[in-house]
Structure 1
Amino acid sequence: MSSLLRKKIIVTGEDQPPEHRLARTLSWPHLVALGVGAIVGTGILTLIGVGADRAGPSVLLSFAVAGAICACAALCYAEMATMIPASGSAYTYSYAVLGEVIAWVVGWSLILEYSLVVATVAVGWSGYATGFLHGLGIDLPGWMTHGPTLAGTACDGTAQAASFGVNLPAVLIIAVVATLLSLGTRESARINTMLVLLKIATLALFVAVALPHFDAANLKPFAPFGYGSVAGACGVKHGMMGAAAIIFFAFYGFDAISTAAEETKRPERDLAIGIIGSMAACTVIYMVVAATAIGATSFTVFGKSAEPLALILRQLGQGGIATIVAAAAAIALPTVILGFLYGQSRIFLVMARDGFLPPALAQVSARGTPARITAVTAVFVSVIAALTPLDVIASLANAGTLCAFIAVAACVFVSRRRDPNAKRPFRTPLVWAVVPVAILGCLYLFGSLQTVTQVSFLAWNAVGLAVYFAYARSRAKVA
């Protein structure tokens, strides 16, 4: 048991050997932009429709509940990131505070989260790009725009034939983003900032055009499926809390900021500003956009749409603005890929340093970027995006994130009890309220996920523990 709970002594960036040392090039504006870029994306552009379909107008409360739980988790992340300014995010904090086997489970869960988010957004971008090319008169072969599908019966009772496919546009965008990250962290941060500004301008345009059409009648009935979580067809859970469990996908991304600790100029100050600032900004953006969407059009109109904001604008007779919003979304979505691919490559980097992955992958290029691990990560994620059917992908990614959030909140609690006098540049306010809300809220959201998602998550971690005992445990450097 003592070997399972052995802890790692944290080595910060300056104490790393030169071949493993990352360049400090980021300040708090870069971190806020990284967080907003990772958070604002697929969630508000597509999941608002999924949430409205499951909760009706009470999806506004779903956003509020998911945002409140994420805000508590963000405060915990801010304390741990400034206290332990090292790459690796929840994996590193767990290794230093809770012990090795827990850190492995968290790291394994983060692989699930980051990989599936990158793959999901890449597939979503592929759909936008394919539609854009179609508008230009360029039609790609069908097999080139989607992954393989299996024969069966869909939830609506329709038959589904088997088909072969490789989603090449999704692979292409992952390759482009990975190349940008390999060129330099500062360079990729600058491009990310410009695309984030474009994304915010696009959402502001939607609000400016749709808000004048707000009709309070569209908010009735406010909670047609109730305020809890009720199972429906194919295990899909409806109700305000059932929608919150999916909309949770729309809020996380701020955890990617904590992976930038070793590349931040002043981590004690900038990490807290980046995490809390991006979370606060995105919560305001989401509530304004969601209220505008629900008030402008009945949720029954756009609830099942893959592009709900553009559909709402078309319903309002603003086809030209809808085209602009759709095009800007396609241009800006890669910021989500950049944020999560950046975070996953840094987590893999730290796991390689710790001996859980081949140490050669931890080497840093002359530009101060982990080019090797970034390339390996891109290949790994590209395979998922190109070949995997992603029916419940958002829910499964949520499960990995909920695990990480619970671990970070637990780290705050344990470190406060174990070492109350340790230096904490940022201290979580009202910690005895914030930590329980974060842990219990995440557990409740996990219970609101589909049963197949919960079983898949447990199966993923069962495989992970087998890998740990068969391979990783004996190779850990702390051994």
Structure 2
Amino acid sequence: MSLLRRKTIHAQPPEQQLARTLSWPHLVALGVGAIVGTGILTLIGVGADRAGPAVILAFVVAGAICACAALCYAEMATMIPASGSAYTYSYATLGEVIAWVVGWSLILEYSLVVSTVAVGWSGYAVGFLKGLGVTVPAALANGPGLGGVVNLPAVAIIALVAGLLMLGTRESARVNTVLVLIKIVTLALFVGVALPHFDAANLHPFTPYGFGSPTGAGGVKYGVMGAAAIIFFAFYGFDAISTAAEEAKNPERDLAIGIVGSMLACTAIYMIVATAAVGALSYMRFGSSPEPLALILRELGQPKVATVIAAAAAVALPTVLLAFLYGQSRIFLVMARDGFLPQALAKVSKRGVPARITAMTAVFVAVIAGLAPLDVIASLANAGTLCAFVAVAACVLVSRRRDPDARRPFRTPFAFVVAPLAILGCLYLFTSLQVRTQVAFLGWNALGLLVYFLYARSRAEIARA
């Protein structure tokens, strides 16, 4: 039964208390900054390639599943206003071993997202510098998997963002808000230019590959659900808001507004951008492009606007790094408090930020970004997120049954409908991922359980003593 022992949430000692400096606008900006990133800039092309014009419907499906999960997150975050996100909720509601699996999956999600985005930003930066006459040697612009030695720009941007986070949460939140506004203005510019070229003929046939997820060459999943499983990457990030529970000024109000508000805003943004994209140009002409929005604008005779959007995307991309590096450092912080990591890492600086754990997290993801090949393994981030979403929805159901009279500042509407829909939707999206991704995810968690039984479980025992 010790495997299912539950954690009691209590106040932290002064040396581990985080500074409460964030209000709900900061949290909405944090969520939008995490969600609106490489996903809408690149995955709309991948989604269109796999679903045709029905990529619009794929955004609806992925958004609906994420909305159900977001409502569950809002309830658990306001009910348990502590850092750690799905890991903390699982530990307090479902038990230790399940919490460990969720935390281990979150490590996978956040590490791969931060590393992948850093490598993507490196490509933009190297190209931008080349345009200015500054050439970065290939050995320092690529990891060993691509014939180089280390991806130095990727390591540098992670160090810069980590330094900003260590400077202070309020300061980094202000910078994040400015960069988020740049991204929103950039997407609005795209819509403003593309929407007047809308042609209904580009929407036919609307579902060339059907609604399900038929398998094509190389194990690629097509159809609306196959596209939704990939587009799902473009939606998650709101879970990073729940890691800010101990730094919100009024967590019972601010967390719910931040989580639900950012999801609603991003769903609306995605729907408008997707409609403008597939309506302005046939999906067959931009579906395989790594920069679909810029390609659409060039095809419409707007190369200067395309350049502006590409430049703005590169400038604003670090908001994704900031949100996920922030979230991962807070999850590591809570795991250190619980004894799964050295507890000395849980100490906060005079500014009220976990400087030690942020530095450790930055080193961890910088090694991955600088050295590891991320082309195939990056899709594992989706699997880790799906695991966390299922766990949080299950926490809502278990908590409602076990303690129906507990105080819930935010209550998930129709919880016994919304939470099961989140679980079933996430499980269906998991089956729509490629088989090798599913196998790799199960292998990662088998390794995690081995670490738990050989190392982490005994450390948790010592921390409890």
Give 2:172's aligned residue: 188
TM-score for the superposition, normalised by structure 2: 0.98
User: Is the Cα contact below 8 Å between 1:122 and 1:174 reproduced in 2?
Assistant: yes
Equivalent in 78, 95, 100 of residue 99 of structure 1:
95
Q: How many residues align?
A: 463
Give 2:331's aligned residue: 347
User: Is the Cα contact below 8 Å between 1:166 and 1:387 reproduced in 2?
Assistant: yes
1:318 aligns with 2:302: yes
Equivalent in 55, 60, 63 of residue 56 of structure 2:
60
- Secondary structure, counterpart of 1:16 in structure 2: coil
- Secondary structure, counterpart of 2:107 in structure 1: helix
Paired with 2:28 and 2:342, the residues of 1 have a C-alpha distance of 32
Paired with 2:154 and 2:44, the residues of 1 have a C-alpha distance of 22
Give 1:121's aligned residue: 117
User: Is the Cα contact below 8 Å between 2:15 and 2:348 reproduced in 1?
Assistant: yes
Paired with 2:77 and 2:280, the residues of 1 have a C-alpha distance of 40
Paired with 2:158 and 2:133, the residues of 1 have a C-alpha distance of 24
Q: 1:392, CA displacement in angstroms? A: 2.6
Equivalent in 383, 402, 409 of residue 386 of structure 2:
402
Give 1:360's aligned residue: 344
1:224 aligns with 2:208: yes
Task: Spell out the pairing of 1:12-411 with structure 2 (5 A cutoff).
Answer: 15-149=11-145, 163-411=147-395
User: Is the Cα contact below 8 Å between 2:140 and 2:148 reproduced in 1?
Assistant: no
Paired with 1:228 and 1:401, the residues of 2 have a C-alpha distance of 21
Q: Which amino acid aligns with 2:239?
A: D
Paired with 1:212 and 1:33, the residues of 2 have a C-alpha distance of 29
1:6 aligns with 2:11: no
User: Is the Cα contact below 8 Å between 1:246 and 1:394 reproduced in 2?
Assistant: no
Paired with 1:379 and 1:231, the residues of 2 have a C-alpha distance of 38
Q: Over residues 142-201 of structure 1, what are the superposed CA-to-partner deviations in whole Å (9 max), with x where a residue is unaligned?
A: 22222223xxxxxxxxxxxx7234211111111100000000000000000000001000
Identify the structure with the greater helix proportion: 2
Q: Over residues 427-455 of structure 1, what are the superposed CA-to-partner deviations in whole Å (9 max), with x where a residue is unaligned?
A: 00011110111000000000000001000
Q: 1:147 to 1:252 in 2, by over 3 A?
A: same
- Secondary structure, counterpart of 2:345 in structure 1: helix
Paired with 1:266 and 1:32, the residues of 2 have a C-alpha distance of 14
Paired with 1:89 and 1:272, the residues of 2 have a C-alpha distance of 13
Q: Which amino acid aligns with 1:412?
A: V
Q: Over residues 91-126 of structure 1, what are the superposed CA-to-partner deviations in whole Å (9 max), with x where a residue is unaligned?
A: 000000000000000000000000001011111111
- Structure 1 spans left out of the alignment, 5+ residues: 150-161
Give 1:478's aligned residue: 464
Paired with 1:290 and 1:47, the residues of 2 have a C-alpha distance of 10
Q: Which amino acid aligns with 1:364?
A: V
Q: Which amino acid aligns with 1:439?
A: I
- Secondary structure, counterpart of 1:252 in structure 2: coil
User: Is the Cα contact below 8 Å between 1:120 and 1:393 reproduced in 2?
Assistant: no
Q: Over residues 355-396 of structure 1, what are the superposed CA-to-partner deviations in whole Å (9 max), with x where a residue is unaligned?
A: 000001101001000000001000110111111111234421
Paired with 1:7 and 1:453, the residues of 2 have a C-alpha distance of 31
- Structure 2 spans left out of the alignment, 5+ residues: none
Paired with 1:92 and 1:115, the residues of 2 have a C-alpha distance of 18
Q: Over residues 334-362 of structure 1, what are the superposed CA-to-partner deviations in whole Å (9 max), with x where a residue is unaligned?
A: 00000000000000000000000000110
Paired with 2:194 and 2:140, the residues of 1 have a C-alpha distance of 35
Paired with 1:117 and 1:328, the residues of 2 have a C-alpha distance of 20
Paired with 2:153 and 2:285, the residues of 1 have a C-alpha distance of 29
